[in-house]
Copies of this chain bind each other. A is one copy, B any other.
């Protein structure tokens, strides 16, 4: 016998209206109640008539998250947080990987999946202002990462202050007495907006400390993966004689760390290493990785909140949310804070 809404309500000890709210993905249900109802649904093998309800509500309960790639632990961790935040609202998350390629990113904003989703959370790399202004699709969208263009914002946006964060990371190394501070992760436009901002912060810090800008200390990395970090570090050791290196993300830094240690170069004694992102890997390497820590939980929650307001029709003008960051000094810059006891 098929279970009915009423059976689920009785089993979960809640009202029929509450079960209906859970099934329809309305946000005003506590996580505990939602969990109880979902458990009852599972135990009774209850299957709501979802096609009918989709048509009625005009909502699928699905939002898309588009990121460059989940192979990058930063985006995997961000996706986990987005899925959790969305789950609190009863939403399912569909994940798109764009590889940071403009053609794929344009497909995402063009609404090719808009029949499936209620809204879109999008972390683009190569998208241009033109791509945004050309957009015809009306699916609500929240952008993550860098602001695109400098004019009036067209979309809700969640980001961090990359220039300030990179400046602080570099000042941290300079403050510990390092004078030949290299940077790994520079990129050429158009897809290098984040790289450009972090490079700017790095340059600002050097200027503040009266350190010369030595071009041989700046290494490019077209993609920010461990392999690129290891290769860039190997090249810097040939030409630059650095005593510290600021890597524009943790994956690059983990690659750089490996390149140094495998050559018998001591970290932090000979070369200090600093990353950016605070991915879990860096808390378990030896030495542990000093890094810039943006709050990924806050980024995910803010993005989901902005999208929810957009879907509810309570948001008017596009909003800009700046998420705080902090330095996390660990062993790779000489901080003796054990991260694992």
Nearest CB of chain B from residue A14's CB, rounded to whole Å: 16
A273-305 vs B, CB cutoff 8 Å, 1 = contact: the mask equals 000000011011110100000000000000000
Question: Is residue A134 contacting chain B, with contact meaning CB distance below 8 A?
Answer: yes
Nearest CB of chain B from residue A53's CB, rounded to whole Å: 9
- B residues near A79, Cβ cutoff 8 Å: 70, 95
The number of chain A residues touching the other chain, given as a range, is: 35 or more
A54 touches B115 (CB 8 A): yes
A179 CA / B143 CA spacing, docked (Å): 55
Question: Is residue A257 contacting chain B, with contact meaning CB distance below 8 A?
Answer: yes
A284 CA / B255 CA spacing, docked (Å): 6
Question: Is residue A113 contacting chain B, with contact meaning CB distance below 8 A?
Answer: yes
Q: Which of these, B96, B115, B257, B284, contacts A258 with CB under 8 Å?
A: B284
- B residues near A76, Cβ cutoff 8 Å: 70-71, 73, 76
B62 touches A107 (CB 8 A): no
- B residues near A137, Cβ cutoff 8 Å: 47
Nearest CB of chain B from residue A275's CB, rounded to whole Å: 12
A292 CA / B116 CA spacing, docked (Å): 39
A315 CA / B227 CA spacing, docked (Å): 41
B262 touches A281 (CB 8 A): no
Q: Please provide the chain A residues from 67 to 113 with a CB less than 8 Å away from any CB of chain B in the complex.
A: 69-71, 73, 76-77, 79-80, 83-84, 87, 92-97, 102-104, 106-107, 110-113
